[in-house]
Amino acid sequence: MSETVEAMSETVEAMSETVIDTRHLTREYSRDEYKVVALKDACLEVQKGEFLALMGPSGSGKSTLLYLIAAMERPTAGELRVLGQDLNRLSDGEIAHWRNAHIGFVFQSFNLIPVLTALENVELPLKLTHLKKRERHEHAETALKLVGLSDRLKHFPRQLSGGQEQRVAIARALVTDPDLILVDEPTGNLDAKSANEVLEILAKLNKDYSKTILLVTHDPHAARFATKVRYLDKGELLPEGQKPAD
Amino acid sequence: MGRYFPLVWKNASRNRRRSLLTISSLALSLCLLGLMMAIYHALYLSETDPAQALRLFTRNRVSITLPMPAFYLQRILAVGGVKQAMEFQWFGGAYKDARDPKNFFARFGIDPNKIFTLYAEMRMPEDQKKAFQSERTACIVGRRLAEKHNFRLGDRITLQGNIYPMALELVVRGIYDNELDPESLYFHWEYVRQAMPGRDQLSAISILADSPDSVPRIIHAVDEQFRNATVQTRTETERAFGLSFLHMMGNVKLILFSICAAVTFTIMLVSANTMAMSVRERVREIGILKTLGFRPSAILGIILSEAMLIALMGGIASYFLARALCGVIRSGPAFSSELMTLTIRPQVALVMQLAAVMIAFVSSFVPAWSAARINILEALRRTD
Amino acid sequence: MKIPLAYNLRNLAVRKATTLMTALGIALTVAVLLTTMAMVEGLNSLLRSSGNPLHVLVMRKGSSDELSSNLNRQVFQDLKFKSGIARGKGGDPLASLEMVIVVNLPSVDNPDGSNVTFRGVSPAGLEMRDHIRLASGRWFQPGRAELVVGKYIASRFPDARLGKKIRLARADWEVVGVMDAANSAANSEVFADVNQLSADNNRTEVLSSALIRAADEAAAPALIRDLEADRRLNVTALTEKEYYELQMRSGDLFRYLGLFVSLIMAVGSAFAAMNTMYAAVARRTREIGALRVLGFSRASILTSFLIESLLLASLGGLLGVLLVLPLNGFSTGISTITFSEVAFHFRVTPPVMAAGILFALVMGTMGGLLPAGNAARKQILTALRDI
């Protein structure tokens, strides 16, 4: 399995600089006899090193697009290549490996493991790699240092503030050195000051380390940290530069 | 409390899988508890069968395995209050291959003209009785024994003796029904007596008293009569005689009590655990109930009732399980006549349910009490 | 194992009340099983030390035990001179004509009376049983109504202590010694002079059995074949070891009872463990979602929860072993198939303890597999949305 993952990473390097490429991506849900179209015909291209913010009101389909890109959901129709990989062709187990190797994910509600310390939480995804224990440790410490939490290594999530928890979550997302970081409403549960800290870290990751970041938010202030903004409305991805009319 | 019942019911059936698992777990433990209680009840508490209450056994004082002179029978018949007395001789020996436990069943030499008086509960057609009585080599077998070995009227059975070095060639002339003793074989003791003239000794004599009042008097009179003889006797009721065999197997009461204790404690743990889990998950809701104006006593009641409802369902299920297990024991090897009629009597069933409710009460009290006293704000803030 | 063990250990510690209650339930179940096993182990050890493989027990053909066997003095005189029998110090064959009766005496456990085996032995019989030492008092003297009791008899039967008198058929017999039979069944027997005991019972010509010692291991089977084949003698022969194994089959009843009860309790405890693990899975649904997003596969999630259940069960197993440990060495009586009491020690040996832990792990697997499967099957998105 791990060999296929390595093989995949090679193909990624060889391919173009396009990180995300969706063609007519559609996702429908059926509730009882009704069909709800969450996302319709979305065509999106994200280049390497971009920090793209997806904006729109709730129900606009922005989260659906994010989940499709993270392979947490499968599209009803359309094509989806992420890092040159056609996600529809991967099995569940392969997707798990692919995610671990290439994607970092930050949630609105942090989703740290309460019984593990900050360091252990960050170290967790490295358990799936071939790194030695000492290397895992070093990587995790570096990641926490990067988000400014080197003095909180042994703290449990409940001993941290919300902003600190979210920074631990970012450290956990970037510790595997992913090619793509997906961020879902990272500031939804935070006060303004903590929110700013978190967004600044994301901007720094993009600027100093050229990390490709896809940010989903409904907060215009958050979107300002991105290099590019795209809007969604009622399941449709609006053309570049266009805002929903309201 | 009745108006809260719908709420209690909803709560109990909310996490159906958990409730079912708890009920099954309780049912299994309670059924063991019930079974042990039923055995205890059957052995030590139940009323003696009226026919059994009139019967006594006399044996050698030193041990059942040593004989008494055969003339003791005549002397016992002369004791006041004795309606009938009969030799009741264990004939060991082997039937076919003795190493197969199936071939190990009780064989007694008796007097065919007296046995149906002494054991009035043995039922057999009159013509079979006559056939049995009129032929020296005839024998009768219990219904279950006959079914096990496929014995039919007219079949020949050979028993190779060991204590009595001879082969008994018997013919089945009757199949009797007796729930207390379904697996024995009875034959004419006279047959052995004639074959072995030198050994005119008996090891057990069965006595029928004329009334329950005579029983203690007979016990005293028989043993007193032989006090100064070479072989002294010991006389006891049939029930005590049977129990003494069981007691020789081991400390039955201690075993029953230890199993009950282990099982009861396990039930408490299971029940307490379930209630603690379901209360913990519901702390927020309890906070909401409180803001709606539910008093702590109502909340205490709702949670206690839920535990008792679940325990009671476990209790009812355990009753049926225990009844089924009694059936298994009844069809098992015939250790003691008390176990041959083992059932879950109403008293035992009632005690099982009471035990279930009591255990539920004790085990859910702590979580219920802390839920009732929890601070509203703290409860509402709780997320898990 | 991808998800760290600390994750499971700390989760168990966080829910300590639930963990402890579930573990205790498993512990009690294990304790019931181990009590049974300790008893069986004790009986086995008694058997191992009771039967000397060189000793051959001779009974009348068709007898399954010494009590129901009748052996004539004349038959004994004949079989004594078979070849392959070892010789004693005086040069005589090591063969002992013996008489066995059981006597009902009140014991500490059973005041109504338990049966005790009384054995009349000859001087050769004592010489053959060289594992027996006198613990106190002296040996009985030939021609006198004197008894030497096994050490368990002395401790379990108040009427059979040193200096007491026991009335048998005719005479009052005095207990003059206590013997220590190195953990063998003779500790639960009473020895007397064979001639004296048979006279007391008016059976001087018809005794019970004969015990003979084969010259060596190879001679024993040949001797048994020779005796069995001799139609004139009409006897059955088997090694002492085989004989004791047959006698202790009555222990099966307790073994089956113990297995039956622990099996039913095990199913109950597995259900309880299942409840606990389902609750754990439910409480940690979001965590499971997060772990999946980090790239942990369904298999890792399944393994992790299963391991947690196994940890919980092994805690129960350890507690169960601790509960049963004090039982080690505790002695009690059990009846043989001829209803005479034999005392034995409960033995909680390392294999018994290992079996207890294994049993707990089986319960842990039964209780953990379904909830772990449930955890592994969760869809990432539904798991993450769970509140």
Q: Which chains touch B (3 or more CB pairs under 8 A)?
A: C
The Cα A137–Cα A123 span in angstroms is 7
CB atoms within 10 A of CB B212: 11
Radius of gyration in angstroms for the set of CA atoms belonging to chain B, rounded to a whole number: 29
Query: Exposure string (b/e) for B125-151, b if CB count within 10 Å is 16 or more?
Result: eeebbebbbeeeebbbbbbbbbeebeb
Type of residue at A194: S
Most C CBs within 10 A among A127, A136, A183, hence the mutation to make, goes to: A127
3-class SS string, B68-108: EECCHHHHHHCCCCEEEEEECEECCCEECCCCCHHHCCEEE
Rounded mean pLDDT of B24-41? 87
Residue A202: pLDDT over 60: yes
Query: Which residue from C4, C7, C297 is facing A93, i.e. has the nearest CB?
Result: C297
The Cα C227–Cα C76 span in angstroms is 11
Helix C285-293 and helix C251-283, axial crossing angle in degrees, nearest 10: 70
Identify which of A19, A70, A87, A78 has the alpha carbon closest to the alpha carbon of residue A235.
Answer: A78
The Cα B108–Cα B87 span in angstroms is 9
Tokens of C257: 């009872």
CB-based contact A111 C11, cutoff 8 Å: no
Rounded mean pLDDT of B120-149? 92
Tokens of C228: 């069995």
Cβ(B338)–Cβ(B242) under 8 Å?
yes
Confidence of residue A3 (pLDDT cuts 50, 70, 90): very low
Name the domain count of chain A. Answer: 1
Tokens of A137: 């440790």
Task: Look at residue B194 in the predicted model and tell me its pLDDT.
Answer: 87
The boundaries of the domain holding residue A227 are 2-237
Cβ(C158)–Cβ(C108) under 8 Å?
yes
Residue scoring higher pLDDT (C216 or B290): C216
> How many Å lie between the alpha carbon of A157 and the closest alpha carbon of chain C?
13
Residue B260: pLDDT over 90: no
Identify which of B187, B205, B201 has the alpha carbon closest to the alpha carbon of residue B86.
Answer: B205
Parallel, antiparallel or unpaired: strands C95-105 and C209-213: antiparallel
> How many Å lie between the alpha carbon of A129 and the closest alpha carbon of chain C?
9
The Cα B106–Cα B113 span in angstroms is 20
How would you write the pLDDT of chain C (387 residues) with one tens digit per residue?
578 888 899 989 888 888 998 899 899 889 988 988 888 888 888 888 888 889 999 998 877 788 878 888 988 998 888 888 998 888 889 999 999 988 888 888 777 778 888 999 999 999 999 899 999 999 999 989 999 999 989 988 999 999 999 988 788 999 999 999 888 889 989 999 999 999 888 888 889 999 999 988 888 999 999 998 988 888 889 998 888 887 777 677 778 888 888 888 888 888 888 888 898 888 888 889 888 888 888 899 999 999 999 999 999 999 999 999 998 888 777 777 666 778 888 899 999 999 999 999 999 999 999 999 999 998 888 888 765
The Cα A49–Cα A206 span in angstroms is 7
Bridge partner list, C238: C57
> How many Å lie between the alpha carbon of C89 and the closest alpha carbon of chain B?
35
CB-based contact C18 B249, cutoff 8 Å: no
**Chain B residue whose CA is closest to C15:** B277
> Chain A residues with CB-CB distance to C under 8 A?
67, 70, 72-73, 92-93, 96-101, 103, 105, 107, 109, 111-116, 120, 124-125, 127-128, 172
**Chain C residue whose CA is closest to A64:** C381
CB-based contact A100 C295, cutoff 8 Å: yes
Task: Look at residue A12 in the predicted model and tell me its pLDDT.
Answer: 47
Query: Exposure string (b/e) for C360-370, b if CB count within 10 Å is 16 or more?
Result: bbebbbbbbbb
Using DSSP, state whether C98 is helix, strand or coil.
strand
Residue A14: pLDDT over 50: no
Rounded mean pLDDT of B143-163? 89
Confidence of residue B381 (pLDDT cuts 50, 70, 90): low
- Domain annotation covers residue A221: yes
Identify which of C314, A10, C43, C265 has the alpha carbon closest to the alpha carbon of residue B250.
Answer: C43
Most C CBs within 10 A among A69, A99, A180, hence the mutation to make, goes to: A99
- Domain annotation covers residue A246: no
Bridge partner list, A180: A103, A212
Q: Which C positions 84-113 lie with beta carbon below 8 A of chain A?
A: none
Structural domain spans, chain C: 5-48+250-385, 54-216
Task: Look at residue A2 in the predicted model and tell me its pLDDT.
Answer: 45
Rounded mean pLDDT of A74-94? 87
3-class SS string, chain A: CHHHHHHHHHHHHHCCCEEEEEEEEEEEEEECCEEEEEEEEEEEEEECCCEEEEECCCCCCHHHHHHHHCCCCCCCEEEEEECCEEHHHCCHHHHHHHHHHHEEEECCCCCCCCCCCHHHHHHHHHHHCCCCHHHHHHHHHHHHHHCCCCCCCCCCHHHCCHHHHHHHHHHHHHCCCCCEEEEECCCCCCCHHHHHHHHHHHHHHHHHHCCEEEEEECCHHHHCCCCEEEEEECCEECCCCCCCCC
Using DSSP, state whether C187 is helix, strand or coil.
helix
DSSP string covering C17-86:
HHHHHHHHHHHHHHHHHHHHHHHHHHHHHHHHHH--TTEEEEEETT-SSGGG--EEHHHHHHHTT-TTB-
**Chain B residue whose CA is closest to C65:** B162
CA within 13 Å, CB half, C232: 7
Query: Which residue from C11, C286, C384 is facing A115, i.e. has the nearest CB?
Result: C11
Cβ(C188)–Cβ(C201) under 8 Å?
no
Rounded mean pLDDT of A109-113? 87
CA within 13 Å, CB half, A45: 5
Please check whether residue C298 touches A, CB under 8 A. yes
Q: What are phi and psi of C183, to 5 degrees?
A: 65, 10
Give the CATH number of the domain where residue A177 resides. Answer: 3.40.50.300
CB-based contact C292 A96, cutoff 8 Å: yes
- Sign of the CA dihedral running A153, A154, A158, A160: negative
Most B CBs within 10 A among C66, C156, C271, C283, hence the mutation to make, goes to: C271
> How many Å lie between the alpha carbon of C264 and the closest alpha carbon of chain B?
6
Identify which of B337, B288, B344, B290 has the alpha carbon closest to the alpha carbon of residue B317.
Answer: B344
Bridge partner list, C95: C212
Q: Write the ipTM.
A: 0.76
Alpha-helical runs (H) found in chain C:
5-14, 16-50, 73-79, 123-128, 151-156, 194-200, 219-229, 240-247, 251-283, 285-293, 298-324, 350-377, 380-385
- Domain annotation covers residue A151: yes
Rounded to 10 degrees, the C-alpha dihedral B74/B80/B83/B85 comes to -30
Chain A residues touching C381 at Cβ < 8 A:
67, 72-73
Residue carrying the six token digits 């991805």: A237
Q: Which B positions 100-159 lie with beta carbon below 8 A of chain C?
A: none
Question: For residue B59, what is the DSSP state?
Answer: E
Identify which of C237, C248, C205, C270 has the alpha carbon closest to the alpha carbon of residue C79.
Answer: C237
> How many Å lie between the alpha carbon of C274 and the closest alpha carbon of chain A?
22
- Burial class, C244, CB count within 10 angstroms (exposed 0-12 / middle 13-18 / buried 19+): buried
